[in-house]
């Protein structure tokens, strides 16, 4: 397998929040936090699932802390440009990162990542997770995974996976697909979800895994054909869609997940407030209902549990990359 190179969420002050004291530039001096609008940097383009989940988290933070949260998209460098901008900002709790499961994988997929995503960042909270859906070019005659695998083995040059970003859930699930089916379908990198899906719909790439939020509208509109969803059981979101296990890939489960990070130097009191704002906001009944309609569910866990989850997730995904012979770019 080869891999080619590749709004504002200004919420009203619904809840009055007590101020947290944060260290200022002067030794020993403290200032109320949040003392001004918070900036959430999203290191990818607007419109995809990562951006949508970041904006929802930003809205919840704004509502619970009583300040506007401005979402700033800074795409490029496989997410490194926006992430580096967060590290370079003052560690005072007014600049945070809204990203996805791809963020902790930076050192596994980039030769010269400008930071260590695990050592330099600490996760505040995961906001939600959503299952991946496998789709294909609707003009192709194949209707099942077995037919796809047979055709790809017979004419490998006519098949490719599109992926939105190195190390993203869609990239890793394509590697796993090749592994479990014994295929060697090329995985092609794109600059985001939208251009990747557009190329699959146009027939320039043939297959793609991505979150239900981005994919299902195009499936329902006939621009893509779905082969299955990577969940253990059928979902109410798309009850007519078989699981990938039912479609011929036993045990195949993959989720994309989304969260908020901060530089490691941020004071613990601020981190605790941000954690409560994200985790509590995403558990609100109306928000849970909204997430379900989009194919997501909130994730409830403590910060220590989250850090342990990310260590395990990175270890599993790094092993998958090694099995595939992937070389960082």
| Residue 204's CATH number | 3.40.190.10
- Residue 31 sits in a domain whose CATH number is 3.40.190.150
Non-local (6+) Cβ contacts of 27 within 8 A are none
At 177 the pLDDT is 96
Residues 111 and 140 in one domain: no
Q: Looking at the domain assignment, is residue 218 inside a domain?
A: yes
Residues 23 and 117 in one domain: yes
Residues 264 and 306 in one domain: yes
Residues 58 and 122 in one domain: yes
Residues 123 and 139 in one domain: no
Please tell me whether residue 124 adopts helix, strand or coil conformation: strand
Residues of the chain with pLDDT under 70: 1-31
Quickly list DSSP for 164-223: SSTTSHHHHHHHHHHHHHT---EEEE-SSHHHHHHHHHHTSS-EEEEEHHHHHHHHHTTS
Structural domain boundaries, residue 273: 3-129+258-323
> How far is residue 188's CA from residue 202's CA, in Å, rounded to a whole number?
15
pTM, 2 dp: 0.80
Residues 7 and 86 in one domain: yes
211: left (phi over 0), alpha (psi -120 to 50) or beta: beta
Q: Looking at the domain assignment, is residue 244 inside a domain?
A: no
Exposure string over 106-136, b if 16+ CB within 10 A, otherwise e: bbbbbeebebebbebbbbbbbbbbbbbbbbb
> How far is residue 237's CA from residue 240's CA, in Å, rounded to a whole number?
9
Q: Looking at the domain assignment, is residue 142 inside a domain?
A: yes
Neighbours of 287 (CB within 10 A): 18
Number of domains in the chain: 2
Residues 104 and 207 in one domain: no
At 20 the pLDDT is 52
Q: Looking at the domain assignment, is residue 7 inside a domain?
A: yes
Residues 137 and 152 in one domain: yes
3, two tokens: 């891999």
Cis check: omega of the bond before 306, within 30 degrees of 0: no
Residues 89 and 8 in one domain: yes
Residues 136 and 99 in one domain: no
> How far is residue 190's CA from residue 205's CA, in Å, rounded to a whole number?
11
């Amino acid at each position: 397998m080869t891999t080619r190179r590749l709004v504002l969420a200004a919420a009203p002050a619904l809840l009055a929040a007590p101020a947290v004291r944060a260290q200022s530039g002067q030794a020993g001096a403290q200032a109320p936090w949040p003392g001004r609008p918070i900036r959430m940097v999203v290191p990818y383009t607007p419109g995809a699932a990562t951006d949508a989940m970041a904006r929802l988290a930003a809205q919840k933070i704004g509502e619970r802390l009583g300040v506007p949260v401005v979402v700033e998209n800074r795409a490029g460098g496989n997410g490194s440009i926006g992430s580096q901008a967060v590290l370079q900002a003052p560690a005072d709790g007014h600049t945070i990162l809204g990203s996805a499961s791809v963020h902790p994988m930076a050192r596994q997929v980039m030769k010269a990542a400008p930071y260590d995503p695990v050592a330099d960042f600490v996760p505040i909270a995961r906001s939600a997770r959503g299952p991946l859906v496998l789709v294909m070019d609707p003009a192709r005659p194949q209707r099942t995974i077995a037919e796809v695998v047979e055709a790809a083995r017979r004419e490998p040059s006519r098949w490719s996976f599109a992926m939105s970003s190195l190390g993203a859930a869609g990239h890793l699930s394509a590697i796993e697909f090749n592994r479990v089916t014994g295929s060697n379908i090329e995985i092609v990198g794109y600059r985001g979800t939208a251009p990747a899906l557009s190329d699959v719909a146009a027939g320039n790439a043939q297959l793609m895994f991505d979150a239900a939020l981005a994919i299902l509208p195009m499936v329902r509109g006939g621009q893509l054909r779905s082969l299955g969803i990577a969940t253990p059981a059928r979902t109410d979101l798309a009850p007519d869609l078989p699981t990938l296990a039912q479609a011929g890939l036993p045990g195949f489960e993959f989720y994309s997940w989304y969260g908020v990070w901060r530089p490691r130097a941020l004071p613990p009191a601020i981190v605790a407030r941000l954690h409560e704002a994200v985790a509590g906001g995403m558990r609100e009944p109306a928000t849970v209902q909204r997430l379900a309609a989009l194919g997501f569910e909130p994730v409830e866990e403590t910060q220590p549990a989250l850090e342990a989850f990310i260590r395990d997730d990175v270890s599993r995904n790094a092993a998958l990359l090694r099995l595939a012979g992937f070389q960082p770019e």
